[in-house]
Amino acid sequence: MPLSIQLREHIESFLANHDLGSLYREYRWGRDTWESGFPDMRQLEVDLTRHAKQGYVTKNDIMKVAEWGGLRNKKGVQCPELVEISLYGGDDPAEFFMSRPSAPLRPLGEAIKGMGPTYLSKILMFSRPQLYGAIDTRLVRVFGRGDTSVESFRWLLLGVKNYGSGWCIPEYQTSWPDEYDTWIGILHHIASLCSSKGHKCPHPDEYIAADLREEGVWIAADVETALFSYASVCLRK
Which residues lie across from 84 on neighbouring strands? 56
Which tens digit of pLDDT belongs to each residue from 67-76? Answer: 999 999 999 9
Which tens digit of pLDDT belongs to each residue from 27-84? Answer: 999 999 999 999 999 999 999 999 999 999 999 999 999 999 999 999 999 999 999 9
Question: Any residues with CB less than 8 A from the CB of 20 and at least 6 apart, and which?
Answer: 190, 194, 199, 201, 218, 223, 226
Q: How far apart are CA 153 and CA 80, in angstroms?
A: 39
Q: What ranges do the domains of the chain cover?
A: 5-236
Per-residue confidence at 98, pLDDT binned at 50, 70, 90? Answer: low
Per-residue confidence at 165, pLDDT binned at 50, 70, 90? Answer: confident
Per-residue confidence at 10, pLDDT binned at 50, 70, 90? Answer: very high
Quote the pLDDT of residue 89.
74
Look over the chain and give the mean of its residue pLDDT values, rounded to a whole number.
94
